Structures are given as structure tokens and as C-alpha cells.
């Protein structure tokens, strides 16, 4: 099955993760990040939404913004359904999904798959680089914690990766210039009192776009 692609546009991409309210959709529609993420059917996260809720939210999403479903050890049928019905453009796997899970999922969909990895050692990086996913995401831990990991562990990587974990307006430029990720992934840093803050979202998207122009 031929895989879909995200194109070859130059410049770092940005993903705003953890959307859960209509107000969040309006905020990203205004700021226009490249991707937005929805944490789906993971009740232990306050950002979690149901499959039906994400379907309704995506209906109002600017079509230029690509919706990403974030799943944690979810039944494959749930992931496949939301990809196949057009609700999601990409799936991000943030649990203990192994290579066989990813390979099987890729048999049934031409949508792109992101696999998240918690980075604590150089060995974790090496493991991530072997993933059959289309993209890897390097994170501090469980996601949405607002904490960074040791970026010096990241070597010159020859495959596209998302960088997450503690990235915000204060260190976004440094992350892009020093680490050169395909995309940066932000969540807690664009929140105020656990709700997405439209001004903070616009600020970080503007920072990324300005770096694109400079580069």
C-alpha cells in the first residue's frame, strides 16, 4: 500500500497537542500550526477525549491543519476506525505498542504513524531509530509533563522526528536551531490553568514561522 506523505516543505513543523474543547479548535484555526493532537480514550489524562468527541471537534478544524490522534495502548480497531473514516490524518502511539503492532497497523492504513519514545539514555535513542513507524517522537516521559530530557543524547539523526517534552516559548528557538527536529510538539507550555491559551499558542507558532524565514 502506498503511504501518504506530508510533503517536503522546508522549515520546522509545529504540533499543538491535547486539544479537547471547541475553544481549542478556534485557537489553532487562528494560529495555524501544522498539526494538532487529540488524546483519545485515555481517561487518566485530563486532556482525554472520546472518539465521538474528536469527530465533532475535527469538523470545525481548518483543513490545512492535520489532526493527529494520540493513543496509549489502544485497541487497534479504534485507531484504524478513526484513520479510515477520515477523522484523523495521523496516529501517534504513546504506549507500549511494539513493532508487530505498528507493522500490522501499517498494513491496513496508508496514513502516517508516529511512535513516541521516552528518552533517558543513548540506548533509548538507538531503539527509537529502529522503529518501523513513519516518524518517531522523542519525549521526556509520559507526555504533557512540561519537562525536557537531555538533548545532548540526540545524535545527528537521519530520519524525521518530532521533539517533545518541556518545549515552550523560552527554549523553542534553541530546540530548533540545535536539535533540528522535523517538528516540535507542545502541550502544557501553551496552557493556562490546564486550558489551552490562544495567546500562548499564537506566540509559539509565530516563533516557529519566524525561524523558517530566517533559515
Can you give the CATH number for the domain in which 204 is found? 3.20.20.70
Name the active-site residue from 36, 139, 197, 206: 139
- Residue 68 is assigned to a structural domain of this protein: yes
For residue 7, the model assigns a pLDDT of: 46
Confidence class for position 141, pLDDT limits 50, 70, 90: low
- Residue 6 is assigned to a structural domain of this protein: no
| Interval 76-121: pLDDT, tens | 999 999 999 999 999 999 999 999 999 999 999 999 999 999 999 8
- Residue 158 is assigned to a structural domain of this protein: yes
For residue 146, the model assigns a pLDDT of: 56
Q: Is 36 a catalytic residue?
A: no
Q: What is the pTM of this model?
A: 0.91
Question: For residues 33 and 1, what is the distance between their CA atoms, to the nearest angstrom?
Answer: 29
- Residue 5 is assigned to a structural domain of this protein: no
- Residue 3 is assigned to a structural domain of this protein: no
For residue 149, the model assigns a pLDDT of: 77
- Residue 8 is assigned to a structural domain of this protein: no
Quote the number of domains for the chain.
1
Q: Are 120 and 99 in contact (CB under 8 A)?
A: no
Which residue segment(s) compose the domain that 20 sits in?
13-214
Question: For residues 182 and 162, what is the distance between their CA atoms, to the nearest angstrom?
Answer: 6
Mean pLDDT calculated for residue range 36-57: 97
- Residue 119 is assigned to a structural domain of this protein: yes
Q: Is 139 a catalytic residue?
A: yes
Name the active-site residue from 17, 34, 36, 134: 17
Amino acid at each position: 500500500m502506498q503511504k501518504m506523505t506530508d510533503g517536503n516543505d522546508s522549515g520546522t513543523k509545529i504540533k499543538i497537542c491535547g486539544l479537547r474543547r471547541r475553544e481549542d479548535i478556534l485557537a489553532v484555526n487562528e494560529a495555524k500550526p501544522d498539526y494538532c493532537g487529540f488524546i483519545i480514550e485515555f481517561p487518566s489524562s485530563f486532556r482525554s477525549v472520546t472518539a465521538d468527541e474528536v469527530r465533532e471537534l475535527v469538523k470545525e478544524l481548518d483543513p490545512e491543519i492535520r489532526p493527529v490522534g494520540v493513543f496509549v495502548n489502544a485497541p487497534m480497531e479504534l485507531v484504524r476506525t478513526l484513520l479510515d473514516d477520515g477523522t484523523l490524518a495521523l496516529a501517534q502511539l504513546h504506549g507500549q505498542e511494539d513493532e508487530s503492532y505498528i507493522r500490522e497497523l501499517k498494513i491496513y492504513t496508508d496514513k502516517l504513524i508516529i511512535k513516541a519514545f521516552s528518552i533517558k539514555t543513548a540506548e533509548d535513542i538507538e531503539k527509537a531509530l529502529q522503529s518501523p513507524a513513519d516518524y518517531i517522537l522523542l519525549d521526556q516521559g509520559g507526555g504533557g509533563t512540561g519537562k525536557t530530557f537531555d538533548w545532548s543524547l540526540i545524535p545527528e539523526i537521519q530520519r524525521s522526528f518530532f521533539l517533545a517534552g518541556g518545549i515552550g516559548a523560552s527554549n523553542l528557538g534553541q530546540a530548533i536551531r540545535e536539535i533540528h527536529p522535523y517538528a516540535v510538539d507542545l502541550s502544557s507550555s501553551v496552557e493556562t490553568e490546564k486550558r489551552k491559551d490562544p495567546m500562548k499558542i499564537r506566540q509559539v507558532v509565530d516563533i516557529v514561522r519566524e525561524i523558517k524565514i530566517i533559515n
